[in-house]
Structure 1
Amino acid sequence: MRHLISLLAILAGPALAKPDADTKAWLAHTAQLSSDAMEGRDAGSPGHARAIDLVERWFKAARLQPAGEGGTFRQTVPLHEVAVTAADMRVVAPDGSAAPLKFLHDITPRPATDLPATLAGAMRFAGYCSKLEAGPELKGKIAVCYGSRRAGRAQAAERLAAVSAAGAAALLTIDDAGFAMEPPRWPDAYARAVAHAGAALPAGLPQFRVNGAALARLIAGSQRLAAAILTDASLHRDLESFDLPGRFEARLTTAQRSFTSQQLIGLLPGTDKAKAAEFLLLGTHIDGYGFGEPVNVDGLYNGTLDDAGYVALLARLAERRKGKGFARPVLFAAWTAEEKGLLGARWWLAHPTVPKAQVVGVINLDQLRPLFPLKALTLHGLGQNTLADTAKAVAEGLKIEIRPDREPERNLIRRVDSWPFMEAGIPAVNFVFAYNPRTEEERIYRDWYNRRYHRPQDDISTPMDLDAARDFNRFFYALVETAANGAAKPVVKSVPPSP
């Protein structure tokens, strides 16, 4: 009922006084797919299975043909998980007093197959934990490092290598609160790591993500001010290394399980026999976070704009076509386990249900937030392939500006299901609603990221600009038609950027 009321409020709101039929249908699909009944669509969960059933019905009703395994719409992805299910962590002072660190709020262990049940040791703060900072003083101690995300300081791989080489017993990484483009947010939904069945799950040096707000407890008694360290680090200044008076102690409970999760692949057959072996693939992810640590009392992560709205858009395109094909055959894919590491798309690439060599282009839908008027789109793939050139031409014809990624430090291009296809040498594109710095659009975007992204608050109550949703949907329909009917198939122009 809560979602029905929210949907009616959106339709009646000022964003779009009289939404057209297509936008109404898209929004209704989005609301249904991200309703509480779907329980956040966590990969392999009962709610995810209900979502798969629903979208399969949409695909069938739209006259798509099955393109999964065994003559069905479905492909089963076998998965394995390690999770930290309980944790008791604290800093113990020399006098025996203890300052607790709240699991998922102050600190989150990295799930690992060999994570010890207990861990205790002296700590040393080693600045950014570069090779120069992580000296022999760390041997046998728990390294506390500031996790800078900006160029010029040690990044995650270098930090881990440096403290491991120094003989540290564990690594506690303080979040980079100064990374304003994507500031850290707490709590974490849960502490889980998932991989394909038979693939390696995380192992090795115990690692923990730490909320900057907990730094004062880690360094208590050191005569240093946590606020001063955080300010210096945010300003990119050098940091002093020093031993900490307290001991870090942790009791950790882990569990492993094997399970499967399904994804959907439908086919709209092509009409041109000469292009019958040139598949255009449209992809988005159906999975979400499911149930997790409550935020403002709500523990259900509905995932309305990440990414139910774009599974709904694939369904709307199929429904509009009513079985009428384009020149090229078009695959409609609703991937699973994107939130666990792009696992569904990667599984399909390793076990394709049509010949992988016949996939000539991929249009991925993710990171799209119709929160403000659609004036510009960031285009991942720009300059890399001719499909991006086509997208640019279609967008500009609709008076939508196309931009390169102006925040590459966020690494957004590698965080969506188009990335595995780019790595495989297949032309692929993905889009992000763009905004200018220091504008109301940026304020709205940052607010959505801080309060709703990967949060229970990403639900149908999100204030949307339905004009922007309509405009993007029309752009998407036009792009698919242009790419699927184009005389020349898309080709790669350059390799994707390295990490």
Structure 2
Amino acid sequence: MFAFPTKSWAALALTLGISSAAMAADPEFDKQQLRSHIKTLASDQYGGRGPLTQGETLSIDYIAKEFAKLGLKPGNGDRYLQPVPLAKVTADQAMTLTLGDLTLTNGSEFTARTQQITPRIELKDSPMVFVGYGINAPEYHWNDYAGLDVKGKTVVMLVNDPGFATQDPAHFKGNAMTYYGRWTYKYEEAARQGAAAALIIHQTDAAGYAWGVVENSNTGSKYTLVDANNNADELPVMGWLHQSAAQKLFKQAKLDMDALADAAAQPGFKAVPLPGKANLRFDNSTRMAESHNVLGLLPGGETPEEVVMIHAHWDHLGTNESDGHIYNGAIDNATGVAGVIELARVLSEQSRKHPFKRSILFSSFTAEETGLIGASHFAAHPTVPNSQIVAFLNIDGMNVDNALDYILRYGDGVSELEGYLQDAAASQGRKVKPDPRPQAGLLYRSDHFAMAKVGVPGLLFMSLGDNDPDYIPHRYHKPADDYNPDWSLEGMQQDLSLMAIIAARLANNGDWPKWLEESEFKKRRAQDGRQ
């Protein structure tokens, strides 16, 4: 067992004006319970927890039963589950991409998929153009599409944003990726511009992960929400190019790829047409079905309509349909789900002694790995109004090893929740350490970001290899992300204690943490009267 540090819980009680008698017994996080949850969720029986598989049925049943066993109320009316209508789209991998005279091999040199609900995608004799970073950002006075008509064309672009390339903190955000550097944004903007295809050039440093992550994440079945037009407005071809394949493309065009990349990072860059045409055809099989988010509610005693959310996505990459490899996702994110269940146990036990003023909603969403799909559905169809959600605490991979003298902070000067993190860490005698890989854009890569888009501020708790350098290159999004009985789990206990301090404070103090930097998130929150 690992208890809250006594000074932390006592200080919290004093801050909240709660009698020491009411909070005399320090809540404890049970290492064996954590171990059992992780081992079960990351077992081969669950098949990698792919949405719309038997692994989903097992996962959501497990989480819902744990919530019910802890006495949580259903979080969606009288149900623990929130249906998420989506499509499972599987592209035939026997595809070949030709770029001019260059023929590329699927998987090793490129990937391609679509979110359109259609039996066939055909890119035929599409003109190609290099559009730098593929960014249109008025607040940075930047538009790679200025004066350019790319309707029906294939746009080729660099990953990340110009700030990373220049390392100038006055240029975008320097080394720290902005949302404009994320692949999701690049595809969205290419679709708005009317492009037929977007090919993002992968570079390991700029992307924050190796090519293997791209290949594993884009060559199997993918999931998407479906609109009334069967996603006809989505980008037809969402592609990646291996860096070596991109170099061949530019060499074919008699262009210096490195020199063009340098130029693309400077203001005033003009897009460069590429000779030759792009051709690609692949068939899709589509299965329409319902996936599910899981929601359990701990009602508040005074202002139950105001809600603090504690969250971890339950899904992972499932089982590879071609080679049978199971992607069990033990750290990403069976540890997070285990943490949410254990936080629910500890906080509900504390609530029985002294109810929290606000409600706490424990959630576990589907299809995060495919693009925050379950979170996006919840944000669009919340079970409580978004204007009533105080904050969103999101766990996406936990420290399974020994306790540390620091906690990671993702983002800097983003919201007042950073102060909550600072205070909770100090109460544990820990320091706050800035994101060691801001170029990876982790602030935009997990479920809290879907909630940020509707104005809800959040904190990301993620430990993906910060104290284990082997994890990212050898286990992240790979079959090797398996449960290990040798894990000490002391880091999990330590971080869950910190999260409980933050959650309890938010659930009792009546504050509405504000966005600090100017953004669409801040504007949205202001519309709700919470900024």
Question: What is the TM-score of this pair, normalised by structure 1?
Answer: 0.76
Identify the match of residue 377 of structure 2 among 327, 347, 353: 347
Instruction: Classify 1:394/1:112 alpha carbon distance in 2 versus 1 (closer, same or farther; 3 Å).
Output: closer
* More divergent stretch after superposition (47-56 vs 156-165): 156-165
Task: State the Cα distance separating 1:413 from its structure 2 match.
Answer: 1.9
Over the aligned positions, Cα root-mean-square deviation in angstroms equals 4.2
Identify the match of residue 104 of structure 1 among 104, 107, 110: 107
Distance 1:159 1:261 in 2: 24
Task: State the Cα distance separating 1:396 from its structure 2 match.
Answer: 1.1
Task: State the Cα distance separating 1:424 from its structure 2 match.
Answer: 3.0
Contact 1:129 1:145 in 2 (8 A): yes
Distance 1:310 1:388 in 2: 20
Identify the match of residue 471 of structure 1 among 475, 494, 511: 494
* 2:239 corresponds to 1:208: yes
Identify the match of residue 451 of structure 1 among 456, 461, 474: 474
Distance 2:447 2:356 in 1: 25
Identify the match of residue 426 of structure 1 among 408, 431, 456: 456
Match of residue 438 from structure 1: none
Contact 1:284 1:333 in 2 (8 A): yes
Letter in 2 for 1:266: G
Percent same amino acid at aligned positions? 23
Identify the match of residue 492 of structure 1 among 502, 507, 514: 514
Question: What is the TM-score of this pair, normalised by structure 2?
Answer: 0.72
Deviation per residue, 1:249-274 (Å, 9 max, x gap): 4231123332111121112233x4x3
Contact 1:381 1:496 in 2 (8 A): no
Match of residue 483 from structure 1: 506
Classify the secondary structure of the residue corresponding to 1:253: strand
Match of residue 14 from structure 1: none
Contact 1:64 1:323 in 2 (8 A): no
Match of residue 59 from structure 1: 67
* 2:216 corresponds to 1:188: yes
Task: State the Cα distance separating 1:308 from its structure 2 match.
Answer: 1.3
**Any gaps of 5 or more consecutive residues in structure 2?**
1-27, 135-142, 167-179, 522-531
Identify the match of residue 27 of structure 1 among 23, 26, 35: 35
Contact 2:151 2:195 in 1 (8 A): yes
Contact 1:387 1:491 in 2 (8 A): yes
Deviation per residue, 1:258-297 (Å, 9 max, x gap): 2111121112233x4x333332221111122212377xx6
Contact 2:386 2:454 in 1 (8 A): no
Deviation per residue, 1:318-366 (Å, 9 max, x gap): 3345655142332111112222332323323333334544332322212
Match of residue 8 from structure 1: none
Letter in 2 for 1:287: D
Deviation per residue, 1:16-55 (Å, 9 max, x gap): xxxx982232122111111111111122222111111111
Distance 2:452 2:160 in 1: 27
Task: State the Cα distance separating 1:207 from its structure 2 match.
Answer: 4.5
Distance 2:130 2:305 in 1: 56
Task: State the Cα distance separating 1:210 from its structure 2 match.
Answer: 1.0
Residues 37-116 of structure 1: pairs in structure 2 closer than 5 A: 37-69=45-77, 71-91=78-98, 100-113=103-116
**Count of residue pairs brought into register by the alignment:** 458
Instruction: Classify 1:205/1:57 alpha carbon distance in 2 versus 1 (closer, same or farther; 3 Å).
Output: closer
Letter in 2 for 1:318: A
Distance 2:144 2:458 in 1: 40
Task: State the Cα distance separating 1:420 from its structure 2 match.
Answer: 3.2
* 2:123 corresponds to 1:119: yes
Distance 2:187 2:146 in 1: 8
Instruction: Classify 1:140/1:462 alpha carbon distance in 2 versus 1 (closer, same or farther; 3 Å).
Output: farther
Residues 114-193 of structure 1: pairs in structure 2 closer than 5 A: 117-121=121-125, 126=130, 128=132, 144-147=156-159, 149-151=161-163, 170-179=197-206, 181-185=208-212, 186-191=214-219, 192-193=222-223
Distance 1:482 1:164 in 2: 42
Residues 387-402 of structure 1: pairs in structure 2 closer than 5 A: 387-402=417-432
* 2:415 corresponds to 1:412: no
* More divergent stretch after superposition (326-335 vs 458-467): 458-467
Contact 1:149 1:176 in 2 (8 A): no
Classify the secondary structure of the residue corresponding to 1:51: helix
Classify the secondary structure of the residue corresponding to 1:480: helix
Deviation per residue, 1:380-423 (Å, 9 max, x gap): 47655544423321111112222454654433222222223333
Distance 1:397 1:352 in 2: 33
Contact 2:390 2:512 in 1 (8 A): yes
**Any gaps of 5 or more consecutive residues in structure 1?**
1-19, 435-440
